[in-house]
Amino acid sequence: MKLLMLGHSGVGKTTYMASMYGTMQFPLNGFTLRAIDASAHVRLITICRGILAGTYPEITDQRSEYQFVLVYEGEDFFPFSWIDYRGGALTESSGTLEGASLVKDLQSADGIIMFCDATALAQRSSVSKQLGRMATLLTKSFQDLTFPKPLTVVFTKCDLIQQVDPALVQPVQALLDAARANQHVYGRYVFTACGPEMIGVEVPVLHSLYVGTMSLVQVLTALVEQSRAQEERHRTAGATVGGLVGDLIGVFVGLPTHAELANAHSNRAAAQLQAIQPLIAPALDLAVFLESYTAF
């Protein structure tokens, strides 16, 4: 699964990334997070410790990619990649290399995490151009979707404003409406804070992976149903006169009988069911954890 993190310049993506990773080193409903690259683990943990002590990282302006594994009850559960785009990419046209790469990644991403600076919105700062660009790109990327796609809108730095007001959502309301109207987009927004007290930082990744898990369950369930239908078709056909004759002829030319094909589909269905079983408990725990956060 590929998750794309997108936000305007100065929104605090690096701070968020380290805060989320550090927070998820401790079990949340049985879930933790592991970086595949040991150096990425050390870097993120070091930054997180600084944040907890009140020291924040410098603003970066580069595209980064991380490889993570969601761990459930001590066992690797769901591998995914996390791409962080530099804020400046939002102001570049699709004709530039960076702009074209962003459009391509938006279309191919399995989940989107969009960041908005709550302090800038509260002060009505001029981030509207980048927010508008994000909203336009995201709305276009939703067109012709054929699979479930999670969208999480994250409002950062909420500890630095006097009041977390639902009006903060207004600048991206059109995007939320477009997402709500699309049956394949599963949206949620969350107000976060990164500092000595972490608030909501685990929600975006867990929401995205919950949708990814449920999507995988749906795909596997559909495959089980297909395998069972094929099994029934071959068993029915094998019981007819024509099927029996066909099996006899097929034996001489090395073709499998209807009974053999039915057994093969039965075994396939059993294997697919077995693949679903480990997903059920984590999916239920994710659903319980997320139920108190606002979906749209």
- Please state the domain extents for the chain: 2-215, 218-290
Place of tokens 């969208």: 151
Alpha helices in the chain (DSSP H): 13-23, 38-52, 97-108, 118-122, 128-141, 173-181, 203-238, 241-253, 258-290
What one-letter code names the amino acid at 57? P
Rounded to whole angstroms, the Cα distance separating 61 from 148 reads 30
Q: Tokens representing 95?
A: 């004709």
pLDDT at 10 (0 to 100): 79
Orientation of helix 128-141 relative to helix 173-181, angle to 10°:
10
**Least confident interval from 56-60, 94-98, 122-126, 130-134:** 94-98
The region, left, alpha or beta by phi > 0 then psi within -120 to 50, assigned to residue 125 is beta
Best CA proximity match to 151, nearest among 218, 214, 204, 84: 204
* pLDDT reading at 166 higher than 80: no
pLDDT at 238 (0 to 100): 92
The region, left, alpha or beta by phi > 0 then psi within -120 to 50, assigned to residue 37 is beta
Helix, strand or coil for residue 230?
Answer: helix
pLDDT digits (tens, 9 = 90+) for 170-229: 888 888 888 999 999 999 989 999 999 999 999 999 999 999 999 999 999 999 999 999
pLDDT at 98 (0 to 100): 60
Count of Cβ atoms closer than 10 Å to residue 262 Cβ:
20
Rounded to whole angstroms, the Cα distance separating 152 from 293 reads 11
Kindly report the average pLDDT of the chain as a whole number. Answer: 88
Helix H or strand E segment including 114: strand 111-117
Best CA proximity match to 91, nearest among 7, 4, 172: 7
Rounded to whole angstroms, the Cα distance separating 238 from 163 reads 70
Average pLDDT over residues 148-177: 86
Best CA proximity match to 84, nearest among 8, 2, 172, 13: 13
* pLDDT reading at 23 higher than 80: yes
* pLDDT reading at 97 higher than 60: no
Residues 6+ apart with CB under 8 A from 198: 19, 22, 23
pLDDT at 142 (0 to 100): 87
Q: Tokens representing 174?
A: 């059109």
pLDDT digits (tens, 9 = 90+) for 112-151: 999 988 888 877 666 766 777 788 888 888 888 888 999 9
pLDDT digits (tens, 9 = 90+) for 241-275: 998 888 898 888 889 999 999 999 999 999 999 99
Q: Are 11 and 155 in contact (CB under 8 A)?
A: no
pLDDT at 94 (0 to 100): 54
Rounded to whole angstroms, the Cα distance separating 176 from 153 reads 9
* pLDDT reading at 47 higher than 90: yes
Count of Cβ atoms closer than 10 Å to residue 38 Cβ:
8
- Considering the segment(s) 2-215 as one domain, its CATH architecture is 3-Layer(aba) Sandwich (3.40)
Question: What is the share, in percent, of the chain residues with pLDDT greater than 90?
Answer: 58
Residues 6+ apart with CB under 8 A from 9: 59, 61, 86, 87, 88, 130
Average pLDDT over residues 264-292: 94
